Structure 1
């Protein structure tokens, strides 16, 4: 988990939630990649939990993931979370579990608050409160793309813009990388992953999590 702050993020406190590394060597690779991207290592947290171990066919505890994310949101004042989409970029089951865990957290907080406030407040007061908190928390998912798009280089920029234009009902952003070769160098720190595949260093597309059509009122203190 990486907590990022800075002017480029409009002073937002961002929690980037990913799956893996699954062993000591991959943890070291993650630290090296973060150093390459100028992310302070004190803002990198690796959880080695017996219920969150790497492996196909191993279903992670979604409630545990939700709890870990909630604790970090509250302790660090996080107002934006970025993670995998439902496919998980590569289709890895653990990536999908991270998505489900965060979605579970958002839905549970929303449902609990709506039920609780429905008992104590009138419908009009409830809607006013929900509306006032609508923008208090954001969650974004990285759109998974095909192998063709991954290796299309700068062409993927136009494809991303076109896809966003074709789906106007989705709130999405296209992130253009001003330093693609720095991304290459950072990804190269993951030696074993680099052999298999690597993402486009030029652009990425992110969309709001579908569950965020419901207001989430879980912003940390």
Structure 2
């Protein structure tokens, strides 16, 4: 069969070769583009790594730059946590900032004994041992054991009960600074999140002491959570209150975590190595408008459920 005076097979073969040539050209262009992009990405990663290491050295080793941006002057600080080991795993840099200030009294309120698997007494003792390393005196520690506040990831604690306990400690201890979890609770553990909503309830009801400022520990995405030193530039830009640890501080945090022998399993060892919360804490001050928005959104979500 002829097509345009040429055999059909020859005609189709010419078009097939042209198509293959076109595909080959574009494949090469794509390969060259990806190679260039990868080279630029590697160069950027190297430059960012070097910049972060230099920045850390300037801040911690040479003290040529100031990273820490503090809260309002505080004399009596209360940390409210959900379980024994929260103080070391999440709040370590902030706790050390205040315990190393001789003019500041630091208190810790733990709302459960961490009695999951029947280890309440063991974990309570471990908490006291860890706090001793961190610089919190025994008489400044309170551990609650309430049947309505179980150690369970899928259980949201009653806000009214938590609010009543926290309010009592704020009043009796004369606290001027309260520090706890934000609404996401760092790990999205419902026990952690419950504390935020209890504090929010106190705030909206105007039951917080007038001279008490409230700060919450920022929850970050999982990539930043394990970026450690690489998160320093982002914290500089995004965070209004921030603390950083030096090598001596991190050794203290590691020692404090080793007191939690029942919890010191392999994945928590890895957490201590890679977690940004062992190097940096960033806090946000609780804002009334943000609290109301969070409560409204939460009410909508509960209604949908």
Normalising by structure 1, we get a TM-score of: 0.72
| Structure 2 equivalent of residue 25 of structure 1 | 122
After the TM superposition, which of the residue ranges 198-207 and 47-56 deviates more from structure 2? 198-207
Query: Aligned partners of 2:170, 2:199: CA distance in 1, in Å?
Result: 11
Higher helix share: 2
| Structure 2 equivalent of residue 61 of structure 1 | 158
Q: Give the root-mean-square deviation of aligned CA atoms.
A: 2.5
User: Which structure 2 residue ranges, 5 or more long, are not aligned?
Assistant: 1-70, 85-113, 115-119, 292-305
Rg larger for: 2
> 1:175-196 CA deviation, whole Å, 9 max, x = no partner?
1223222122222323426543
Match runs of 1:39-58 below 5 Å: 39-58=136-155
Query: Aligned partners of 1:9, 1:42: CA distance in 2, in Å?
Result: 25
Which structure has more relative contact order (CA 8 Å, sep 6+)? It is 1
Match of 1:107 among 181, 199, 204: 204
Normalising by structure 2, we get a TM-score of: 0.53
> 1:141-172 CA deviation, whole Å, 9 max, x = no partner?
000123322322222222211223xxxxxxx3
Query: Aligned partners of 2:204, 2:139: CA distance in 1, in Å?
Result: 30
Number of residue pairs the alignment of both structures matches: 178
Contact residue 157 and residue 176 of structure 1 kept, 8 A: no
| Structure 2 equivalent of residue 125 of structure 1 | none
| Structure 1 equivalent of residue 255 of structure 2 | 185
Match runs of 1:1-221 below 5 Å: 10-21=73-84, 22=114, 23-109=120-206, 136-164=211-239, 172-178=240-246, 179-191=249-261, 192=263, 195-197=266-268, 198=271, 199-200=275-276, 201-211=278-288
Contact residue 139 and residue 212 of structure 1 kept, 8 A: no
Contact residue 182 and residue 193 of structure 2 kept, 8 A: yes
